[in-house]
């Protein structure tokens, strides 16, 4: 019998509440959930629809952009938390603002 919240912190972030050792729910880290090193997190659906039909990206490019090139990576050019922490220690205020989000 264990109750806890299990969290995977990687390129995406997944969160699973557990009760009595059983999963109650889980988010899909590729499609929903929190902002992360590589994922965009939840997106405003209207803006996403506009982007899908803008002609700027192919389907594959848009999927890659949302799943691999969003989040910290889009704002700071890296998904490496240690590098971002070094930037913050060196006084990078933009890195600090984005990392604290």
The three-class DSSP label of residue 29 is: coil
Dump the DSSP string for 7-21. Answer: EEESSSEEEEEEETT
**Mapping DSSP to helix (H, G, I), strand (E, B) and coil, where does residue 47 land?**
helix
pLDDT tens for each residue of 51-84: 999 999 999 999 998 888 899 999 999 999 999 9
Q: pLDDT tens for residues 21-57?
A: 899 999 888 878 888 999 888 888 888 899 999 999 9
Taken in order of first residue, the domains within the chain and their CATH numbers are 30-100 (3.30.420.40)
Alpha-helix residue ranges (DSSP H) falling in 1-101:
45-52, 59-67, 71-76, 81-89, 93-100
Rounded Cα distance, 46 and 42, in Å = 12
């Amino acid at each position: 019998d264990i109750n806890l919240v299990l969290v995977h912190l990687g390129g995406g972030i997944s969160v699973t509440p557990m009760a009595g050792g059983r999963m109650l729910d889980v988010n899909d880290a590729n499609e929903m959930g929190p902002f992360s090193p590589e994922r965009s997190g939840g997106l405003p659906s209207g803006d996403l629809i506009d982007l899908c039909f803008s002609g700027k990206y192919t389907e594959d490019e848009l999927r890659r952009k949302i799943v691999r090139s969003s989040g910290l990576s889009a704002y700071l050019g890296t998904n490496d938390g240690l590098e971002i922490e070094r930037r913050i220690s060196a006084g990078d205020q933009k890195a600090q603002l984005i990392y604290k989000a």
